[in-house]
Amino acid sequence: MTLNSPPVDAHGHDHGHEAHLAAHHHGTLKSYLIGFGLSVVLTAIPFWLVMGDVLGNKQATGLVIMAFAAVQIVVHMIYFLHMTTAAEEGWTMMALIFTIVMVVIALAGSLWVMHHLTTNMMPAHDMIRR
């Protein structure tokens, strides 16, 4: 099971492995604390908005808390999951983008189709009750 000549690692995996372990998966104390601080603020504000009924408008509150959730997800991705475009030669980001596309299609598609189904095919007894 040995080669006559020493195996040449054309892709430089040995170096890449070490560098990737060091660079990709450890944040610093500072980055974790920044992420935590941002998360606390981004969590506390939506709870405050809903529990205190601060805006007085349900639709506006709904949109604002969804925006906060989106920002907080990005914060977690960057500061806790250490997402970068360079990690794993970009494959992590590619997988993430693909997943986001799938999630958007699945969520938006389901909600859209089922909403129309409900409005157009609501059974008679349901209409009366509403």
Partner 1 sequence: MSVAVATPQTAEPVFHVVDEHAHPEGASTMLGFWLYLMSDCLIFAILFATYGVLGANYAAGPAPKDLFDLKLVAVNTAMLLLSSITYGFAMLEMARARVGATQLWLGITGLFGLAFLGIELYEFAHMIHEGATPQRSAFLSSFFTLVGTHGLHVTFGIVWLVTLMVQVARTGLIEANRRRLMCLSMFWHFLDVVWIGVFTFVYLLGTLR
Residue ranges in contact with partner 1 by CB under 8 A: 1-5, 7-11, 13-14, 16-17, 20-21, 24-29, 32-33, 35-36, 39-40, 43, 46-47, 50-51, 58, 61-62, 65-66, 68-69, 72-73, 76-77, 80-81, 88, 91-92, 95-96, 98-99, 102-103, 106-107, 110-111, 114
- Please tell me the distance from the alpha carbon of residue 77 to that of residue 73, in angstroms, as a whole number: 6
75: nearest Cα among 44, 103, 37, 104: 37
Decide whether 36 or 86 has the Cβ nearer to partner 1: 36
CB of 124 to partner 1, least distance (A): 17
- Do 76 and 106 meet the contact criterion of CB atoms below 8 Å apart? no
The phi, psi pair for 80, rounded to 5°, reads -105, -40
**Shortest Å distance, C-beta 4 to partner 1:** 7
Q: Which residues contact 77 (CB under 8 A, 6 or more apart)?
A: 83, 96
In the complex, least distance from residue 46 CB atom to partner 1, rounded to whole angstroms: 6
